[in-house]
Structure 1
Amino acid sequence: MREIVYDNYYWQNDLIRLRAWREEDWEWDYYTNFDSVAGRLVDYMIELPPVISDSKKSSERIADFSSSNGRTFFAIETLEGVHVGRINILLDDDRNGTFGIGLKVAREYRGKGYGTSAVELLLKYAFMERRLNKYSISVLEGNEASIKMHKKLGCEQEGILKQNIYTNGRYYDEIYFGLTKDRYLESRLSK
């Protein structure tokens, strides 16, 4: 097989590259499912203990851009090919042009900008290629890394649903952020 030249590749930036999720990525999924703190912040709950067969089935279902409930899944890799995370775009409502993004970065790679870089690529794709108009996301109270990332991306806090999520023995606020295409374009021009 020939070497791939990524010089003009849309699906990368100066830090990461996105690729199709593969069936063999089940191991990444399985091992990252042991991070219960991250699982609570992402899924707003504690899952049952990880099962290898579940990770294999999940990876098989979403591999090669097979759609899963309107979501398209990507693996996040460094430019050196190290698998650091998973990201998906959820096309909520084509009619109204709204979408969401789901993100998970392995613990040892957090805080290095990989997640922010991956979300930036999907925002560019959604706004500039898919003609979508509004990115919406909810964040669990206390998920300071996600709050900081969304503010850095230009998202505005649009509301708080008080005591809306029950986990870890108490109710947490659910914080909503949004980014319109107009605001996205303004923030890109100011950089």
Structure 2
Amino acid sequence: MEEESFVREIVYDNYYWQNNLVRLRAWSEDDWEWDYYTNFDTSAARLADYEVDLPPTPLNSKKYSERIANLCTNNCRITFAIETLDGIHVGRINILLDDDKNGTFGIGLKIDREHRGKGYGTSAMKLLLKYGFMERRLNKYSVSVLEGNEGSIKMHKKLGCEQEGVLKQNIYTNGRYYDEIYFGLTKEMYLNIWK
């Protein structure tokens, strides 16, 4: 894919899709390499997808990136790349908009191993929560987290989500059954926390 060249410099001073730590941009077909290399982190894949994928291939990452590029809605998901304000690609985040009738949504997040624990995931989540609640008029964010995914549990609590329930021994992976923990955040809770 040929690189776009612009005459003017982009000024991000008043840009909705960034905060003090990260900027979201449309996923690009050229982001396939990021996807490919992060797919070798089996522990992260197990925590995110509750399973072990088959060995990664460049072709599969290219096809996946082609499917989700340019903010295409793929299975009601819109996918963004997460970059630092210096333009370093640190992650991927998507918003699941499959239940307008009930006003609920979900968010999926993946941060590259070397960039975890620096607040990038939490900052990107804040942008999509704001978008879901304040622009899409949605009422509830819901997510399930695999038992043992301490990073995700800590992040969701920091964002103000409440644990709503546990499905005991609901997910089978790595030779045993794991609990699936559900968290939720309503718009009212969000507004009380993030005024």
Tell me the TM-score normalized by structure 2.
0.96
Q: Distance in 1 between matches of 2:113 and 2:60?
A: 21
Structure-2 residue corresponding to 1:156: 162
Q: Distance in 1 between matches of 2:179 and 2:155?
A: 18
Structure-2 residue corresponding to 1:175: 181
Q: Deviations over 1:147-180 (max 9, x none)?
A: 0000000000000000000000000000000000
Q: Deviations over 1:23-51 (max 9, x none)?
A: 00000000000000000000000000001
The number of residue pairs the alignment matches comes to 189
Q: Distance in 2 between matches of 1:188 and 1:92?
A: 25
Q: Distance in 2 between matches of 1:66 and 1:93?
A: 17
Q: List runs of 5+ in structure 1 lacking aligned partners.
A: none
Cα RMSD (Å) of the superposition?
Answer: 0.4
Structure-1 residue corresponding to 2:193: 187
Structure-2 residue corresponding to 1:136: 142
3-state secondary structure, aligned to 1:53 = helix
For the pair 1:165 / 2:171, whether they are aligned, the reply is yes
Match of 1:80 among 77, 86, 94: 86
Q: Deviation at 1:92? A: 2.7
Match of 1:67 among 69, 73, 79: 73
Q: Distance in 1 between matches of 2:128 and 2:194?
A: 14
Match of 1:115 among 91, 113, 121: 121
Structure-2 residue corresponding to 1:106: 112
Q: List runs of 5+ in structure 2 lacking aligned partners.
A: 1-5
The one-letter amino acid paired with 2:86 is E
Structure-1 residue corresponding to 2:3: none
Percent pairwise identity: 77
Q: Distance in 2 between matches of 1:183 and 1:66?
A: 30
Displaced runs of 4 or more, over 4 A: none
3-state secondary structure, aligned to 1:150 = helix
